């Protein structure tokens, strides 16, 4: 038959023959039965699907079925193995230093806290308000602190954090070979928390500076520092985020990592896998005071920019355009016709400032500065600050649902003037015993608080603290006489007796505060 049913028929015939052979075998002698059984086994094997000619020819659709049933090849892992940081540590670890800081707290006729307690201690203010003053003229035990840093030039320039060396009377740098040097503070910048110190040495090991703009979330990084005084300790983790903004830190686009950073790590380097420094470990986010999985580093390009200015001029010059900005959320983006939330929304423009002269208006959204996109408002202050004062900046602005280019001449940001401390012991005059630190107000600050005063209190201690004076109070006069300069204040206080009546402005209200500065 040739109609397509031939093979099933043949298979049926062979099955019938096998049954007949079995019946016949049952009536045969044993030897014959064995022989016949062997022949029948061969026949059964020939009829099995594995050797059947019919079974060997699959149906037309069997190919697709076989392909679907076959297991898919295993996906190649995107990450293979863990990095080995040994080479980085061996090559650049010697360039990481331990920094010991000593600051001496002198008694100024007011409460100085329990012996050895730092003014940064959470309980210091409690004891200051309710504790017993220490004897006048006595010196408190020195306050000690420690941090980390790294050598950037063979002749001894070192980068660290500003908060590591603040108010230090002595800074000691210890190398990995246990040599120690007394360091000189070249300068510090509190806005970025970057400081430069120098030791007198030559042919020192140095780090290699990298490009933090090449960092990507998920990349491995390592920190080397002195947590809790354990020199040259190494911890590793990954980049958790980039361009993070923190409260009161609008000038630094922090690198967020999960690298373990603890007290003593501050000022130490953050390395990438190429052995390049991409950041300075600066802060942690913690509710306990210790590491909780969130640490933040200053991008090294920000730090080196500050370093160059501190070494050259001892100060940092920054640009400003005289606007205040806020974040663009989804509602604002929809209201202004933006495709998505981005840019920095101008909330106010300083009258007569650079932005006002250039034609910027409240409601404008700054999308880019000199070709650099602004995705979040926190990016703008840092970008503007890095522009040299006196130069022109080109802003891409979104206004009336269309982009517009605006050229702004960048002005210099007025840094807070150095506070003038007025403190002293038994041998000091009334002015020094008062226990305040003041600085002149700049014109913008005066306009903001609407005051005719010129001096603002930045810190209080001793008699001033006991009298209830507070940082932020504006001094208007002394003993009924107006004062407008530091010299005026000094002269008026020195002419006073054992008590001084200060007229101040606080929260828009003028009040008198009596301060007793003598027995």
Residues carrying an active site annotation: 163, 193, 266
**Bridge-partner residues for 297, per DSSP?**
255, 281
Q: What does DSSP assign to residue 9?
A: H
Task: Give the Cβ contact number of residue 221 at 10 Å.
Answer: 23
Q: CA angle 468-443-376, nearest 5°?
A: 95
Single out the residue of 220, 334, 328, 345 nearest to residue 270, CA to CA.
220
**Residue found by looking up tokens 């703009």 in the block:** 213
CB 213 within 8 A of CB 165: no
Single out the residue of 211, 206, 156, 154 nearest to residue 181, CA to CA.
156
CA pair distance 500, 481, nearest whole angstrom: 11
Torsion over CA of 408, 380, 298 and 445, rounded to 10 degrees?
80
CB 25 within 8 A of CB 36: yes
CB 479 within 8 A of CB 500: yes
343 phi-psi bin (left φ>0, alpha ψ -120 to 50, beta other):
left
CA pair distance 472, 494, nearest whole angstrom: 23
3-state secondary structure 196-218: EEECCCCCCCCCEECCHHHCCCC
Single out the residue of 171, 179, 122, 124 nearest to residue 146, CA to CA.
171
Single out the residue of 110, 104, 105 nearest to residue 135, CA to CA.
110
Helix (H) or strand (E) holding 516: strand 509-516
| Residue 190, CA atoms < 13 Å, CB-side half-sphere | 7
**Residue found by looking up tokens 């828009």 in the block:** 508
């Amino acid at each position: 038959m040739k109609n397509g049913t031939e093979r099933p028929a043949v298979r049926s015939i062979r099955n019938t023959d096998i049954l007949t052979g079995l019946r016949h075998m049952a009536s045969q002698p044993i030897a014959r039965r064995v022989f016949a059984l062997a022949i029948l086994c061969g026949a059964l094997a020939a009829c099995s699907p594995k050797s059947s000619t019919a079974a060997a020819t699959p149906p037309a659709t069997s190919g697709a079925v076989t392909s679907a049933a076959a297991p898919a090849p295993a996906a190649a892992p995107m990450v293979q193995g863990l990095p080995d940081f040994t080479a980085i540590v061996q090559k650049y670890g010697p360039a990481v230093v331990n920094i010991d800081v000593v600051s001496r707290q002198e008694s100024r006729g007011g409460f100085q806290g329990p012996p050895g307690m730092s003014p940064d201690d959470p309980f210091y203010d409690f004891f200051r308000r309710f504790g017993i003053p220490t004897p006048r003229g006595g010196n408190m035990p020195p306050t000690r602190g420690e941090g980390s840093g790294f050598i950037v030039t063979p002749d001894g320039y070192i980068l660290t954090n500003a908060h590591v060396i603040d108010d230090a009377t002595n800074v000691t740098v210890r190398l990995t070979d246990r040599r120690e040097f007394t360091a000189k503070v070249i300068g510090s910048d509190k806005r970025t928390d970057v400081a430069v110190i120098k030791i007198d040495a030559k042919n020192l090991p140095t780090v290699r500076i990298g490009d933090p703009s090449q960092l990507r979330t998920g990349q491995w990084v390592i920190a080397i520092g002195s947590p809790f005084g354990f020199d040259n300790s190494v911890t590793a983790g990954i980049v958790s985020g980039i361009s993070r903004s923190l409260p009161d830190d609008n000038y630094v686009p922090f690198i967020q990592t999960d690298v373990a950073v603890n007290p003593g790590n501050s000022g130490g380097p953050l390395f990438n896998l190429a052995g390049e420094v991409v950041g300075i470990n600066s802060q942690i986010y913690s509710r306990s005071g210790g590491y909780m999985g969130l640490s933040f580093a200053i991008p090294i390009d920000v730090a080196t920019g500050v370093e160059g200015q501190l070494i050259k001029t001892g100060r940092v010059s920054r640009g400003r355009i005289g606007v205040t900005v806020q974040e663009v959320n989804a509602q604002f983006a929809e209201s202004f016709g933006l495709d998505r939330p981005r840019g920095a929304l101008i909330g106010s423009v300083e009258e007569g400032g650079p932005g006002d002269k250039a034609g910027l208006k409240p409601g404008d959204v700054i999308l880019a500065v000199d070709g650099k996109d602004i995705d979040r408002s926190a990016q703008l202050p840092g970008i503007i600050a890095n522009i040299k004062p006196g130069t022109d900046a080109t802003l891409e602005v979104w206004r009336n649902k269309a982009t517009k280019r605006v050229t702004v001449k960048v002005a210099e940001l007025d840094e807070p003037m150095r506070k003038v401390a007025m403190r002293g012991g038994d041998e000091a005059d009334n002015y020094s015993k008062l226990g305040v630190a003041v600085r002149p107000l700049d014109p913008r600050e005066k306009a903001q608080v609407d005051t005719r005063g010129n001096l603002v209190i930045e810190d209080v201690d001793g008699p001033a603290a006991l009298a209830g004076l507070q940082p932020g109070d504006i001094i208007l006069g002394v003993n009924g006489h107006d004062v407008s300069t530091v010299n005026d204040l000094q002269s008026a206080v020195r002419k006073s007796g054992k008590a001084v009546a200060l007229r101040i402005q606080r929260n828009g209200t003028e009040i008198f505060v009596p301060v007793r500065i003598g027995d």
